[in-house]
Amino acid sequence: MVQAPRKRVDLFPYLLLSPALLITILVIFYPIVRTFTYSFMQYILWKPTEIKFIGFDNYLKAFEDPVFWISFQNTLIWIGGVISLQLLLGFCTALLLNQNFFWRGIARTLVLIPWVTPSVITALMWRWMYDGNRGVINDLLVRVGILSSYFPWLANDTTALYAIILALMWQGFPFFAIMILAGLQAIPDTLYEAAEVDGASALQKFTRITLPMLVPVLFTSLMLRIIWVANSLDIIYIMTGGGPGYSTHTLPVYSYIRAYKGMDFGYASTIAVVLTLLVTLFVSIYVRKVLRMEDRGAV
Partner 1 sequence: MRKGKQRHRFLRRALTLHIPLLIIVGFALAPYIWTFLTSLTPEEDLYLSEFRYFPANPTGTNYLRLFSRIDYGRNIRDSLIVATSTMLLGLCITVPASYSFSRYRFKGRTALLAQFLVINMFPVVLLLVPLFILMRVLGLMDTYLSLIIAYSTFTIPFSTWMLTGFFNAIPKELDEAAQIDGCNRFTTLLRVVFPVALPGISATGIYIFITAWNEFIYAAILTGSNVRTIPIALQNMIGEFKIAWGLLTAGGVVSAVPVIVLFFFIQKQLIHGMTAGAVKG
Partner 2 sequence: MKKWMIVLFMGLVLPGLIFSGGAKEQKAEVKTVRFWYHFDNPETSVKPLIEKFERENPGIKIQAEMVAWDAYFQKLMTSIAGGNPPDVSQIKLWWQPQLVEMKALAPLDDYIAKWPGRTDVYEKIWELTRHTDGKQYLMPLQMVILYLYYRADMLKELGLKVPTTREEFLDVAKKLTRDTNGDGQIDVYGFGIRGGRGGHDYWATFVLSSGAEIITKEGKSGLTTPEAIAANQWYIDLFRVHKVSPPTTPTDGFNEVIANMKSGKTAMTIHHLGSAKGLVEVLGDRISAAPVPRGTKGAWTSFGDEENGVLAASKVKDEAFKWCAFLATAENNALWQKSSGQISINKSNGQTKEAQENRFMKASVESTPFAGVLPAHPKVAEFVESVWPATMQRAFLGQITSEQMMKIFEEHFFGKK
The footprint of partner 2 on residues 3-32 (CB under 8 A) is 12, 15-16, 18-19, 22-23, 26
Judged by CB under 8 A, which of 34, 47, 104, 288 binds partner 2?
47
Question: Assign residue 242 a region: left if phi > 0, alpha if psi is -120 to 50, beta otherwise?
Answer: left
Question: Assign residue 59 a region: left if phi > 0, alpha if psi is -120 to 50, beta otherwise?
Answer: alpha
If one asks whether residue 222 binds partner 1 (CB under 8 A), the answer comes out as: no
Residues 261/173, Cβ–Cβ less than 8 Å: no
Q: Print the binding letters for residues 130-159 with partner 2: x by CB under 8 A, - otherwise.
A: -xxxx--------------xxxx-xx-x--
Residue 143: CB minimum distance to partner 2, A:
14
Angle between helices 66-97 and 104-111 (to 10 degrees): 170
Give, as ranges, the residues between 181 and 200 that touch partner 2 (CB under 8 A): none
Give, as ranges, the residues between 68 and 97 that touch partner 1 (CB under 8 A): 89, 92-93, 96-97
Residue 238: CB minimum distance to partner 2, A:
8
Rounded CA-CA distance 236/166 in Å is 11
If one asks whether residue 121 binds partner 1 (CB under 8 A), the answer comes out as: yes
Q: Is 199 helix (H, G, I), strand (E, B) or coil?
A: coil
Of residues 73 and 185, the one with the C-beta less far from partner 1:
185
Of residues 25 and 277, the one with the C-beta less far from partner 2:
25
If one asks whether residue 12 binds partner 1 (CB under 8 A), the answer comes out as: yes
Q: Which helix (H) or strand (E) holds 23?
A: helix 12-24
The partner residues of 264 in beta bridges, in order of sequence, read 44
If one asks whether residue 213 binds partner 1 (CB under 8 A), the answer comes out as: yes
Residues 221/290, Cβ–Cβ less than 8 Å: no
If one asks whether residue 105 binds partner 1 (CB under 8 A), the answer comes out as: yes
DSSP 8-state assignment for residue 296: I
Judged by CB under 8 A, which of 59, 115, 162, 192 binds partner 1?
115
Exposed/middle/buried for residue 252 (C-beta within 10 Å: 0-12, 13-18, 19+): buried
* Residues of this chain that bind partner 2 (CB under 8 A): 12, 15-16, 18-19, 22-23, 26, 45-48, 131-134, 149-152, 154-155, 157, 160, 240-246, 257, 260-263
